[in-house]
Amino acid sequence: MKRRDFVKNLSLASVGTPFLLNDLKFQTISKPLFPIQKSAEDKVLVIIRLGGGNDGLNTVIPLESYDNLANHRSNIIIPQNDLLSITNTLAFHPTMTGMQNMFNDGKLSIIQNVGYPEQNRSHFRSTDIWDKGLMEPSATTGWMGRNFDNSYPNFPEDYPNDSNPDPFAITMGSEVSATCQGLMGNFSHSVSNPFDTFNLSETSALNDGSYYGSHMEYLSTIIGQTNAYGSQVNDAANNGSTLSNKYDDNNPLAVQLRYVAQMISGGLQTKVYILNINGFDTHDSQVSASDVKQGNHTDLLKTVSDAIEAFQDDLALLNLEQRVAGMTYSEFGRQIASNASLGTDHGDAAPLFMFGSCVGQLVTGSDPVIGTQIQNQEGLPMEIDFRDVYASVLRNWFEVGEADIQQTFEHQVTYYQFLGGCSTGLEEENLTAQSLMVYPNPAISSAKVRLETENEWTRVEIIDINGSLIDVVYEGNLSKGEHHIPMNVQDLSNGQYIIRMSKKSGVETKNFVKAK
């Protein structure tokens, strides 16, 4: 049965969209792991959704409008002397010490007044727009799913395969994210605990030629793929490590981010991780009646700030921070004026954050301007279209071509320098001239060698820094083009090694590091 017919009749959202084979064999492929340039193949993006609509005016406070803001929300405003200064005109909520530290270290950037035209204040509709990156109500695919579809149009048919053994994306939790919904399947795999991955009961459903039989055969295949993905995730978590002592076991977002660090360090080649923290729909009890510095929003901001700081600290200790970038978003901001329940109601634009050692400019966009008089239920107007944030991430981080990006969105894209401020963890030389690469680098248990050849005999070896042969990765004839060869490094001692490629057209070498 063809997947197209099956998907028309059965939703697979509760199952996810898994894929994979456990036995890794050599196979050449004609395209990279993602529709990106070769120099960005090692990059990872972490997306954190602040579910419910975050009050940006209680998160990043515009100091030049503080007095007017205080007049409009006198029952919830935090005293200016208690705010955490970040620039001459902006301050953080006093509980966000972790993000203040990151901003001061150049590892956090603020993007102001992000939203979309004619903001819809419905949680469901606005989340749908943010996930899909399209304003069209009938849209069925997510912005990241469409980009995966560009390189893998047959997905999920024939996945997993030898060349793509790991999930393309992972959603932390029990449900897959609409962000990664492709034409015929969701590219993300749901993971609640990578050490206790999904283990569905498998059946060998025989297709007896009936309508029911064809569906059961397909479902049986999907279950097998889900279990195979779970096996890969579990192996990566067990092979990986985490080094930061800043994680709080009572912080659920910190626990999830620690899992993400564990999987990345364990060699999982997943490109996108999506996390979610709910509770930002603060209509009431946003602050405590006895202390405006306490309350539900304070607890949420501390959870996010502390978790991201711990994750970034872990990436630095693991020597991974130049490979990983992150961003937050929320479906909308809150209104300028507070309500009578010590809270705020649904609004429009709000700030979001980019984080990592590769962030670009630290503040993008204008500080919000709050007038002495505001309209009833007024929110902050949009200055930066959220779709341009997505487009800039695709171009500056994953190095997707602008023509492919423009096809992903229905408006004329504008680009910003949010990311791209450092190297990728891969060699930065011109890969059209330098055809040898190892990724991920550092490697934990497995890696791949990317090389380009003519029609020629090729030998790929691992040697130590003294020039002694350790292992032969591949030897034989290769056709003209680009090839990705799996390499098992689990038994190597930690340290620096060299990949040497010998072929008729010359010899090339590349250093790589075997890490814990």
Entry pTM: 0.75
232 versus 250: the higher-pLDDT residue is: 250
Is 505 a residue whose pLDDT tops 80? no
Question: Average pLDDT, stretch 450-478?
Answer: 86
Kindly state the tokens that stand for 202: 């498998």
Is 203 a residue whose pLDDT tops 60? no
Question: Average pLDDT, stretch 31-45?
Answer: 63
451 versus 282: the higher-pLDDT residue is: 282
Is 271 a residue whose pLDDT tops 90? yes
Question: Average pLDDT, stretch 441-446?
Answer: 74
Share of the chain above pLDDT 90, in %: 61
pLDDT the model gives residue 423: 40
pLDDT the model gives residue 224: 61
Band the pLDDT of 233: cuts 50, 70, 90. very high
Band the pLDDT of 193: cuts 50, 70, 90. very high
Three-state DSSP class for 389? helix
The residue among 288, 292, 286 whose CA lies nearest residue 345 is 286
Question: Average pLDDT, stretch 62-78?
Answer: 98
Question: Average pLDDT, stretch 24-28?
Answer: 32
Q: Does residue 509 contact residue 465 with C-beta atoms inside 8 Å?
A: no
Summarised one tens digit per residue, pLDDT across range 169-190 is 999 998 999 999 999 889 999 9
Question: Average pLDDT, stretch 36-58?
Answer: 87
Phi/psi of residue 330, nearest 5 degrees? -140, 155
CA dihedral 166, 46, 262, 307 (to 10 degrees): -160
Is 33 a residue whose pLDDT tops 50? no
End-to-end CA distance of the chain: 44
C-alpha span between 128 and 119 (Å, rounded):
12
Question: Average pLDDT, stretch 489-504?
Answer: 84
pLDDT the model gives residue 12: 35
Query: What is the residue-averaged pLDDT of the chain?
Result: 84
Band the pLDDT of 204: cuts 50, 70, 90. low
91 versus 214: the higher-pLDDT residue is: 91
Is 256 a residue whose pLDDT tops 90? yes
In the chain, what are the domains?
8-199+233-408 (3.40.720), 437-514 (2.60.40.1930)
Is 146 a residue whose pLDDT tops 70? yes
Q: Does residue 115 contact residue 45 with C-beta atoms inside 8 Å?
A: no
38 versus 308: the higher-pLDDT residue is: 308
pLDDT the model gives residue 299: 98
pLDDT the model gives residue 466: 66
pLDDT the model gives residue 231: 84
C-alpha span between 104 and 486 (Å, rounded):
40
Q: Does residue 492 contact residue 484 with C-beta atoms inside 8 Å?
A: no
Summarised one tens digit per residue, pLDDT across range 357-412 is 988 778 999 999 999 999 999 999 999 999 999 999 999 999 999 999 999 999 99
Q: Does residue 148 contact residue 182 with C-beta atoms inside 8 Å?
A: yes
Is 10 a residue whose pLDDT tops 70? no
Question: Average pLDDT, stretch 411-440?
Answer: 62
**CA 465, 469, 473, 478 torsion: positive or negative?**
positive
Three-state DSSP class for 9? helix
